[in-house]
Amino acid sequence: MDRILIVHPQPDSVEFALEAARECGIPAQGCLDSEAAMRLVRGGGSFSVLAIDPDCLEGYQNDWDRCLEVHAPGLSALLLCQPEALARGTELVKGGLAWGLFDLSEPRATLAQQLEEAARENQLRLRAGWESDPSAPMLHTQALEALYQLSLGLFECVTLQAMAELATASLQILLPERGVSVDLWDPRSPVERFRAQAGPDLGAELVRVPLDTSAGVAGELVVDVRSNETGRLGPRDIRTLYLVAAPLASATQNELHRRERERAQQGTLLAMAKVAEMRDNETGQHLQRVSQYAELIARGLREDGHYVDQITDAFIKDVVRCAPLHDLGKVAIPDAVLLKRGRLTPEEWALMKTHPEWGARLLREMVEENADLAFVSMGQEIAHFHHERWDGQGYPVGLQGEAIPLSARIVALADIYDALTTPRPYKLSWSVEAVREHLGNLSGNHLDPKIVASFLKRADAAVEIQRRLMDREPKRLPTHVDGAHPSSNGKAA
């Protein structure tokens, strides 16, 4: 948190001072002029020592005063003087402008010592300010409590939005009466922002503390410098901001990594599912549609008050991610069977009916080998049981009713619906009315009646999904022929 800012017009001197800072183990940044240096301070660099060439102060005296008062109160300034500027530097120190000076012709170890001393001086000054504040011990307890709650709460947040809201709430406790806001984003796609704001509207004079992560700046804390009730931000307030920024930055980084991993996993799973699908590729966007129908069904069931103890937000997220895996096991079915035109022989059909077990086996191995893929256990259920029937007449196990996992019952309907409403080379698609009637007939024997009822209530939304995710190259066969029935070649859906 404590850093040294070095400002000198000569790169050699900047490098010399950076090396001295490294020797005393304090992080440092170097600049060649005051404007660049003040930009760093305003950007929330959290500096405790400013080591600056007296010439760089020329013409910037007021700007520096203003900048330090707002952004780095209590900072120790050390003048870096060439021998010929020593007399002037001494005057400036006497005038109270700087805390001390260093003769650049002296050894680097001396500068390292002085920088260390300057940093210590900054700490003492801050502590003195703290102790002279009669409300400090009380505030100290509250601040500790708020920071403790923040670090605990950040662990539990599962979205960047929730983290932004939690950090904003903590800032409100720590810096009452002030306008505060927290913005979080992914440095790789900064367009999508997660924002929370509290307190009075933000004015024109703001302190911004960037949240540094290994991927770049991933957000910022913004606090209004002025407040009618409590006046300007003081040194303690600035420190407090950094105390909030540190855990928030690491929590943001963790969350970004988690999202990244999740995207990579999802991409891999979808690629695997596509490989399976491509072998008998009859419908380009079948997997995406099944996934969205499954989401529609899960949300609909919950809205209608069915299976509410099972359908959590996490369940919905997993069903969306895992639905495309339903036919993964088809990778194990020989081309001669999978791609056969015409009816399958009983032996071929028996082979085809092993695809659920193959899918479950493949996914089980993935889950066993990678703890991060725990959510794929739902994919395993879906792959294994999507051809089970409500009446127990399905395959591969013959499970009945609610013994069939809910995820698999949901995907069973989604898969059938998509097969009925999508034209394939060997059949036409069905009209909306014919599909409704057919699903009604499957209710209670093939499909879970509650799922069918919930889905039919939302048939318009399903039609909209189908329209949106229509295959880019529609088959040449007509898409809607009333009363048409598919002449299936006997393959599994």
In angstroms, the CA 95 to CA 202 distance is 36
Gap between the Cα atoms of 205 and 228, Å rounded: 13
Q: Which is nearer to Fe ion, 74 or 329 (CB)?
A: 329
Given 3-state DSSP classes, what are the helix, strand and coil percentages for the chain, each rounded to the nearest 5?
55, 15, 30
Minimal distance, residue 29 CB to Fe ion, in Å: 57
Assess contact for 397 and 391: CB atoms under 8 A: no
Nearer to Fe ion, 171 or 322 (CB): 322
Tell me which residues in 462-481 interact with Fe ion (CB under 5 A): none
In the complex, minimum distance from the CB of residue 363 to Fe ion, in angstroms, rounded to a whole number:
14
- Residue 283: CB minimum distance to Fe ion, A: 8
Nearest one of 286, 273, 235, 240 to 423, comparing CA atoms: 286
CB of 333 to Fe ion, least distance (A): 10
Interface stretch with Fe ion, choices 133-141, 208-216, 256-264, 320-328 (CB under 5 A): 320-328
Note whether 206 and 222 are within 8 A (CB): yes
How far apart are alpha carbons 300 and 307 in whole angstroms?
11
Structure tokens at 473: 């190259």
Q: Are 489 and 343 in contact (CB under 8 A)?
A: yes
Residue 5's H or E segment, with its range, is strand 3-7
Instruction: Determine the Cα–Cα distance for residues 377 and 360; give it in Å rounded to an integer.
Output: 9
- Using the rule CB under 5 A, is 277 a contact of Fe ion? no
Tokens of 74: 């209590």
Identify whether the C-beta of residue 225 lies closer than 8 Å to the C-beta of residue 232: yes
SS3 223: strand
Residues 6+ apart with CB under 8 A from 137: none
Which residue in the block uniquely carries the two structure tokens 């940044």?
A: 29
Minimum separation from the CB atom of position 415 to Fe ion (A): 4
Quick one: 415 or 448, whose CB is closer to Fe ion?
A: 415
Burial of 336 (0-12, 13-18, 19+ CB in 10 A): exposed
Stretch that binds Fe ion, among 91-99, 161-169, 203-211, 321-329 (CB under 5 A): 321-329
Residue 327 near Fe ion by CB under 5 A: yes
Q: Candidates 239-247, 325-333, 429-437, 461-469 — which segment interacts with Fe ion by CB under 5 A?
A: 325-333
Distance CA 80, CA 422 (A): 77
CB of 442 to Fe ion, least distance (A): 16
**Cβ distance to Fe ion smaller for residue 213 or 291:** 291
Helix (H/G/I), strand (E/B), else coil: 108: helix
CB 238: neighbour CB atoms within 10 A? Answer: 21
The CA distance from 167 to 255, in Å, is 14
Tell me the two tokens of residue 462.
Answer: 């399903």
Cβ-based nearer residue to Fe ion, 85 or 492 = 492
In the bound state with Fe ion, the residue whose beta carbon lies nearer, of 5 and 325, is 325
What is the per-residue binding string for Fe ion in 278-317, x denoting contact by CB under 5 A?
A: ----------------------------------------
Q: Site residues for Fe ion, window 368-427 (CB under 5 A)?
A: 415
Give the nearer residue to Fe ion in terms of CB position, either 8 or 389. 389
CA dihedral 179, 163, 207, 225 (to 10 degrees): 20
Q: Measured from the CB atom, is 223 or 290 closer to Fe ion?
A: 290
Q: Which is nearer to Fe ion, 20 or 383 (CB)?
A: 383
Q: Using the minimum distance from each CB to Fe ion, give the nearer residue, 8 or 384.
A: 384
Closest distance to Fe ion from the beta carbon of 445 (Å): 18
What distance lies between CA 150 and its chain's CA centroid? 18
Q: Name which of 101 and 360 has its Cβ closer to Fe ion.
A: 360
From the list 129-137, 175-183, 267-275, 326-334, the region that binds Fe ion by CB under 5 A is 326-334
Q: Any bridge partners for residue 101, and if so which?
A: 79
Q: Does 492 bind Fe ion (CB under 5 A)?
A: yes
At its nearest, how many Å lie between Fe ion and the CB of residue 457?
23
Q: How many residues in the shown chain lie near Fe ion by CB under 5 A?
A: 3
Least distance in angstroms from the C-beta of 293 to Fe ion: 11
Instruction: Pick the closer one to Fe ion by CB: 6 or 414.
Output: 414
Strand-pair partners of 207 = 223
> Which residues does residue 51 pair with via DSSP β-bridges, in sequence order?
6, 78
Residue numbers at the binding site for Fe ion (CB under 5 A): 327, 415, 492
